[in-house]
Amino acid sequence: MQPELAAHPGAFPQNPPADLVDPNQLIAHDWQAFTAVRQMTNHWARPGWNEGQRAYYWMLTFPDASELVNQARRCQDELAHLGMDPVPADGLHVTLPRIGSTENISDSQVRRLIDLASQQSQESFHVTAHPLAGSRGAVRFTLAPWPPLLCLHAALSEIGRQVGVPGGSPTAAFRPHLGVQYNNRERPARPVIESVARLRTLAPVSLEIASVDLVELRRTNGSSPTYRWRVMGTIPLRPSTGPGHVQKEALPFSV
């Protein structure tokens, strides 16, 4: 069963879209939320991310997605005048459930999470990354459709509950997206929105989601901060049996 989304003050957009499958509606919903932003915030001014802080997360990573990398670079080049921090080519990712700080998670729990995830039966699936929208602290691609990502998030969250890790935001607050660059200071949103609007006609990029990674995430705080990670385990998803089958039957990542 597909998880239900709900309004959540910590999510962006705060209210979920009415349709989770139609890319046009997902794109419009993301854009409407972004254009309502008046003041952008510094993405890096976040509590709990001090120098040296590390945490475990489930993430989707894209080490071989050359089309995605090229699209992201094009957007970053076009927006370079904004002075934001670009996500490097090897740093593009979709964040799934937070597991917890490395200080609070034992090695045995990490192994147990990987073991349980490897026993699941989620099929691989495709999503498309659509340029371009944003949030209060970033510029990002809209992803479509959402149901397979929501089911994956929910299943990994349930595994975390079984293992007894702290976890993070609930699936009801999950808003799938793929960051392109992070805002690094307080600023009026209007000039950013106007610049991003010029890139919204770029073609979407198709992404095959064939695995999920458990990573130890850290943040670098140099002249251009970014996220880096160490992969603790990669869980392959089962090959899809067909394009129609993914949405109808193979979405639940059984737990």
Which domains are assigned to the chain? 23-45+53-248 (3.90.1140.10)
Give the tens place of pLDDT for each residue, 161-211.
999 999 999 999 999 999 999 999 999 999 999 999 999 999 999 999 999
Sheet holding 177-182, edge to edge: 85-86, 177-182, 138-144, 125-134, 205-209
- Taking the C-alpha atoms of residue 126 and residue 68, their distance in angstroms, rounded to an integer, is 13
- pLDDT of amino acid 24: 97
- Please name which of 41, 9, 27 lies closest in space to residue 189, comparing C-alpha atoms: 41
The mean per-residue pLDDT over the stretch 5-14 comes to 95
The mean per-residue pLDDT over the stretch 141-161 comes to 97
Q: Where are the beta strands (DSSP E) in 49-158?
A: 54-61, 85-86, 93-101, 125-134, 138-144
- Please name which of 147, 143, 118, 140 lies closest in space to residue 128, comparing C-alpha atoms: 143
Handedness of CA 46, 50, 51, 55 (dihedral sign): negative
Residue 48 has pLDDT above 70, yes or no: no
HSE-up of 102 (CA within 13 Å, CB side)? 13
Residue 248 has pLDDT above 70, yes or no: no
Report the greatest alpha carbon distance in the chain.
Answer: 49
Helices (H) and strands (E) in the chain, counts: 6, 11
**Verdict on whether the full-model pTM lies above 0.85:** yes
